[in-house]
Amino acid sequence: MTSDVAFSLLARDGAARRGRLVTAHGTVETPAFMPVGTSASVKAMRPEDVAATGAEIILANTYHLMLRPGAERIAELGGLHRFMNWPGPILSDSGGFQVMSLAKLRQIEETGVTFRSHLDGSQHVLTPERSIAIQHLLGVDITMAFDECTPFPAAEEEAQRSMELSMRWAARCKAAYRPRPGHGLFGIVQGSIYPALRQRSAAALVELGCDGYAVGGLAVGEGQERMFAVLDETVPALPVDRPHYLMGVGKPLDIVGAVRRGIDLFDCVLPTRSGRTAQAFTRGGTVNLRNARHAADPRPLDAECGCGACRHYSRAYLHHLARAEEILGPMLLTEHNLRYYADLMAGLRQAIERGALAAFAAETAAREEEGDIPPR
Ligand SMILES: [Zn+2]
């Protein structure tokens, strides 16, 4: 019996990997995209409908759940899988990113972060040990180390201070983490856009020994070119036999480019959030259904898509729902967008298996140019 999540590599195409991650709650074929279930809900979707899109693992947010309804409450009710009726694998973030982006009056010290809730102003403390304890209470399959998300841009000295703090916190997370079969602890590489810092961070985490390795602190405004440059410097420093996770990314072409650089796991609010603002990702590029050009269009959103929104409804109807602000609009578009992302990941997996990733990437990039909204 292994004490962690099992990861196997099935095929490779250049630096890209086709893998399989086996957790206590099921198997994830990689490269994989994780829909974001912030407050124990993938917004506008039933869990069974999320699974029907092809998603095999979802992400939960420690920060949101610790504030409401509270990690102890979820544990009393049988853990997060049961609480939200998602029987599959769950990865939780550590709370670090949301503390930086949402909380008020935060104070960062060596011990951890003291902050006030964005909901009611109540004071909380999040330390590496408390973050791990919360993620244990949630009962998630994959626990993320608690880190400081370095702001962008950051001078090299600031990025170094922040990265070194995150590495000391990672060691405390490892000490607090309780290994269980089918569960794992992932470390997070920081270091902003500085290659030497990224490589020192990766080396520190490898020395510590993690079940998987995430690249953090990207998709914060640095742009696709810089993000890919950081991946080119960082991913080769990560163990080949462990999963690689790019946090908070991204647009379809960001994902394709990162897969080509050896990333296996992704999460992003984009498909779900866009679904609530009438934006749809399609094989004909990104579409804004509020645009008048869709008002009388009887065609489906994406003729090649098998989701319920594309099988049963016209662009004209989806346009109407968006204009009338009917709740069904976000429901249908979220379903479609998650299906599009799941299909994109399945296409990437098949392309890697066939050794045809370069052609798949070129075709995806060409299709992205056709939409209402530029791909980058
Ligand atoms: Zn669809």
Start-to-end CA span in the chain (Å): 45
Task: Give, in order, the Cα–Cα distances in Å from 273 to each of 52, 153, 291, 330.
Answer: 19, 25, 18, 9
Q: Mind listing the pLDDT tens digit for each residue in 7-48?
A: 999 999 999 999 999 999 999 999 999 999 999 999 999 999
207: pLDDT strictly greater than 80: yes
Is position 267 annotated as part of the catalytic site? yes
Distance 222 CA to ligand 1 centre (A): 31
Question: What is the 308 CA–ligand 1 centroid distance (Å)?
Answer: 6
Confidence of residue 101 (pLDDT cuts 50, 70, 90): confident
The percent of residues above 70 in pLDDT, for the chain, comes to 99
Q: How many angstroms does the Cα of residue 305 sit away from the middle of ligand 1? A: 5
Query: What is the average pLDDT across 311-321?
Result: 98
CA–CA distances in Å: residue 133 to residues 61, 92, 160, 169, 347: 14, 12, 27, 14, 37
Indicate the helix (H) or strand (E) that contains 110: none
CA 71 to chain centre: 21
Span from the CA of 218 to the centroid of ligand 1 (angstroms): 29
Q: Over the stretch 118-162, which tens digit does the pLDDT of each residue have?
A: 999 999 999 999 999 999 999 999 999 999 989 899 999 999 999
**Distance from the alpha carbon of residue 335 to the mean position of ligand 1, in angstroms:** 7
For residue 205, give every residue at least 6 positions away whose Cβ sits within 8 Å of its Cβ, in sequence order, or none: 167, 170, 187, 188, 189, 213
Report phi then psi at 32, rounded to 5: -135, 150
Q: What is the band of 102 on the pLDDT scale with cuts at 50, 70, 90?
A: confident
Residues around the ion ligand 1 (C-beta < 5 A)? 305, 307, 309-310, 336
Neighbours of 316 (CB within 10 A): 15
Catalytic member of 13, 49, 93, 147 = 93
Interval between CA 87 and ligand 1 midpoint (Å): 24
Give residue 1's pLDDT band: very low, low, confident or very high (50, 70, 90). very low
Q: Which pLDDT value is given to residue 204? A: 98
Above 50 in pLDDT, residue 2?
Answer: no
C-alpha 235/C-alpha 215 separation (Å) is 8
Average pLDDT, the chain: 96
- pLDDT computed for residue 4 by the predictor: 86
**Mean pLDDT confidence for 233-248:** 98
Choosing from 49, 267, 302, 343, the catalytic residue is 267
Burial of 325 (0-12, 13-18, 19+ CB in 10 A): exposed
Q: Which residue has the tokens 């503390």?
A: 99
pLDDT of residue 297: 98
Q: What are phi and psi of 291, to 5 degrees?
A: -60, 140
